[in-house]
Structure 1
Amino acid sequence: MRVLFDGQIFELQKFGGISRYFTELINGINSYSAHQAICPIIYSENIHYSEKINPKIPILDQLNMMLELRFNIEKRKRYCTRKNGKGITKSLQSQNFDVFVPTYYDTDFLSDLRDKPFVLNVYDMIHEIFPSHLSSEDHIAIQKAKLIEKATKIIAISQSTKNDILKFHPKTDASKIDVVYLSHSLDNSEILELGLPANYILFVGNRGGYKNFAFFLNAIASLLLDTQGLFLVCAGGNAFNEDEGEMIKNLGLDEKVIQINFKDFELATYYKKAKCFVFPSAYEGFGIPVLEAMSCGCPVVLAAHSSFPEVAEDAGLYFELDNAEDLNQKVRALLEDENLRTHYSKKGIVQASKFSWEKTVADCVKVFKSALKS
């Protein structure tokens, strides 16, 4: 079976959960002797793609070097975007594949697909649930609706996401939606010396909108102020913006909140040294950071809604969504009780072991075969 991927996500993301997923999926499919994953892009600055896929194609490495020498960065990007687009169109028009998999919600491929089956991946329904957080020029929800209608099969990355698809698109045949869980790619075999505080709560990633950072910070402010030597470490997400800086100052937390960007290989150390990891997000289609934290033995505090109970099951310590006092109490309980931390640490390691990219790839291949039969 030949599976064609369009690679659009590798242009949209320099790194991130979706591009990580497709990197693992393409790499995993190509480990099957009976199957082949094709992604006809000549160049990508995506970190995951460059690490795992590009090195296997020496001619692309040579081309990358040529492009580095011939063009400045912006010209190179425009050139590569055009070449990538032409490569995908050519592959579609050749019809030399069995199943097509778009990696995001661009609908341009539909005109060249003809009667070939395609499998749509739906990661979440954020655009439908939180439209106020998005630009008026964001048309993802419209494009997604069109693809949901036309897809041969749909992969939802959690049962929660499947339920949300059916809620917003009730005419969709539920039997064409398969749930396939994701995994994580964290190497937690080594602890690095990164100059982190001895006692800290960990927050990872983007902080805007539905990620609920402002709610989280206000909820634990008293805990940070009351506990000598306790810090909040915000890993990733780039430097605090003006509004965040003002909020931190007004709460009197200037000396208590630290923001540090990290490299991929450093992230496991952040989890391993933290007293707990808090994921206050109002919604996630899956939530890879939950798996990352649990795999490192870091106790996880998260809301009992969305996809979280599917991922963490009884290995997470849950708070009531938007209940600041409850969140404060749950974090405080972990900080004050070493036995409780050990309990959730052990449970998390066991729970995280239930997920693997090998299982994700195998389940996706089953869906692709099913689409081909259809």
Structure 2
Amino acid sequence: MSNILDGKKVGLIRYGPPGTAGGVIMHNLKKYLHEKISDKSTGLAAVEDVMVLRRGTDDTGAWESPPDHVATYTGKFLRSWQVRRKLPKFDLYHFHSHVLLAMARKIRPTIFTIDDIIPFKLSGTMTEKKLDKFKQTLSLWKNATRLAAVSEYTRRDLMEILRVPGEKVGLIPNGVDLGNFTPGDKKEARESLGLPQGVPIVLNIGGERPNKNVVRVLNAFTLVRREFPDALLVRVGFAEKKFDPVITELKLEDAVIRNGQFTGDPVAYYRAADLYICPDISGGFGMPSLEAMACGCPAVSSKNGAFPEVIGDAGEYFDPYHTEEIAAAIIKVLGDSDLRQKMIVRGLARAKNYGWESTAEAALREYALALEAAE
């Protein structure tokens, strides 16, 4: 099967700037595929990345890792025909965004990474207009040569909800940089972030969209504070102003720290925390939980979505719809140092299964299958 890759040039196409999840993932995938090419463990001739951006936001000069190519479009909305005309010629096009599925009408062979299709299953995650657009875009999967889910959970959803044939959808899991996300000194991490020493810190990273379950987490934290009066909930990610009154009403102003402007490396936050909480109603992978485990931070998680698949036996789980269960899981882990240590050891072992080396190997297998399907 590997012979079909010989001499081929692969394009990694992502939508949006480097700081987005897709940008980080494709940057790392490119890095590790280049290593495969250098050590001659694959027959690929080249791997190049392309960033799709609206014109006027394409000044890549200040970016730490600029892409090999930029394909721009004009206007408020993505125009696939404009982007398609600016793409370099590749033997295989790997897109990391369902938004770009329209490209598959005119380009072959293609493989599209799909993170999740949660809006199909959870109401309220999008406006009705955005949901209609989301469904319309996903319906174009038939034009793709192959799809790659980031988890078995998402793969099952694609087969069961969108009726994608099993032989057409594979698996390219997200990866974690095990050289960067490593355990470190908790005291130093807290000092660097201006966080207090000697108090329990519960960390959560991500936005505050409806599926992020913010209100239940805040209510659960009032119960946690009864057992641990000095405990802090540190939220890193875009902060919605609509939750300010909730924090005030629950009298959590001194218990919740929200860093809505943070866009840097979160390693120090993972090292500073006593546990990481993933309260999401559902999700297609759960990168922050994986990063937390790699940094030696125990993961307490929703039992829904792909989270148990990624975290495995390293986690403590709860029903995200029950506030008391969320609080009980946090209290259990904070109050048991032996349990935390076991979770740390298991989490470090679990994270090793998701190094970028493994992700690159999975990508190469999927590339070969996509090229075979296109013959």
1:270-321 superposed Cα distances (whole Å, 9 cap, x missing partner): 1112121110001111110011111111111102221111111100011123
Contact 2:109 2:371 in 1 (8 A): yes
Which residue of 1 is the match for residue 207 of structure 2?
A: 206
2:255 paired with 1:227: no
Residues 318-373 of structure 1: CA deviation (Å, up to 9, x unaligned): 11231221221111111111111111111111111111112111211111111111
Measure, in 2, the Cα distance between the counterparts of 1:82 and 1:204.
28
Cα distance, 1:90 vs structure 2? 3.8
> Is the 8 Å Cα contact of residues 201 and 233 (structure 1) preserved in structure 2?
yes
Q: Which amino acid aligns with 2:216?
A: F
Distance 2:92 2:335 in 1: 53
Q: Does 1:144 align with 2:138?
A: yes
Equivalence for 2:49? 39
Equivalence map 1:337-352=2 (5 Å): 337-352=336-351
Q: Sequence identity of aligned pairs in percent?
A: 22
Structure 2 residue aligned with 1:91: 87
3-state DSSP of counterpart to 2:334: helix
Query: Equivalent residue for 2:365?
Result: 366
- The DSSP-based 3-state class of the residue aligned with 1:100 is strand
Q: Which runs of 5+ in 1 are unaligned?
A: 64-75
Distance 1:17 1:97 in 2: 23
Q: 2:172 aligns with which of 180, 185, 196?
A: 180
Show the counterpart of 1:6.
13
Is the 2:124–2:210 contact (alpha carbons within 8 Å) kept by the matching residues of 1? no
Higher alpha-carbon deviation: 35-44 or 217-226? 35-44
The SS at the match of 1:284 is: coil
CA root-mean-square deviation: 2.9
Tell me the SS of whatever aligns to 1:109.
helix
Structure with greater strand percent: 2
* Partner Cα distance (2:167, 2:91) in 1: 21
State the partner residue of 2:125: 133
**SS of residue paired to 1:143:** helix
Contact 2:13–2:52 (8 Å) recurs in 1: no
Q: In the alignment, what sits opposite 1:251?
A: 250
Task: Give the alignment's TM-score, normalised by structure 2.
Answer: 0.82
- 1:101 paired residue number: 94
Q: How far 1:15 moved relative to its partner?
A: 2.1
Q: Deviations over 1:76-97 (max 9, x none)?
A: 9969x999985642436xxx42
Task: Name the CA shift for 1:220/1:237 in 2 (closer, same or farther; >3 Å).
Answer: same
Whole-Å separation in 2 of the counterparts to 1:189 and 1:316:
17
Q: Per-residue deviation at 1:132?
A: 2.7
Q: C-alpha displacement at 1:5, in angstroms? A: 3.3
Contact 1:299 1:348 in 2 (8 A): yes
Query: Does residue 162 in structure 1 map to residue 155 in structure 2?
Result: yes
Cα distance in 2, alignment partners of residues 323 and 40 from structure 1:
43
Partner of 2:262: 262
Equivalenced residues, count: 341
Pairwise CA distance, 1:236: 2.2
Query: Is the CA contact (8 Å cut-off) linking 2:104 and 2:143 kept in structure 1?
Result: no
- Give the Cα–Cα distance (whole angstroms) in 2 for the partners of residues 213 and 287 of structure 1: 16
Residue 4 (structure 2) aligns with: none
Q: Deviations over 1:139-189 (max 9, x none)?
A: 122111212x2222110111100111112122x211121122211234336
Distance 1:211 1:52, change over 3 A: same
Return 82-91 or 31-40, whichever deviates more: 82-91
Determine whether 1:310 maps to 2:309.
yes
Provide the secondary structure at the position in 2 that maps to 1:298.
coil
Which digits, 9 at most, give the CA deviation of each residue in 1:221-280, with x for residues without a partner? 122255232111112224x41x21100111111111111243533x22211121211100
Contact persistence 1:197–1:231 (CA under 8 A): no
Distance in 1 separating the partners of 2:81 and 2:31: 21
Name structure 2 gaps, 5 residues minimum: 1-7, 38-42
Q: 1:82 to 1:120 in 2, by over 3 A?
A: closer
Where does residue 66 of structure 1 map in the other structure? none
Q: Given the two structures, how large is their TM-score scaled by the length of structure 1?
A: 0.82
| More helix as a share of residues | 1
Question: Aligned AA for 1:351?
Answer: R
Q: Which moved more, 1:128-137 or 1:351-360?
A: 128-137
Q: Match of 1:3, SS?
A: strand
Q: Classify 1:365/1:318 alpha carbon distance in 2 versus 1 (closer, same or farther; 3 Å).
A: same
Q: Distance in 1 between matches of 2:79 and 2:64?
A: 21
The alpha-carbon distance between structure 1 residues 291 and 101, as it changes in their structure 2 partners (threshold 3 A), is same
- Cα 1:325–1:362 change in 2 (3 A) is same
What letter is aligned with 1:126? I
Partner of 2:110: 118
Rounded to whole Å, the distance in 2 between the matches of 1:130 and 1:3 is 35
Work out whether residues 73 and 83 of structure 2, in 8 Å CA contact, stay in contact via their aligned partners in 1.
no
Q: Is the 8 A contact 2:208 2:238 kept in 1?
A: yes
Residue matched to 1:21: 25
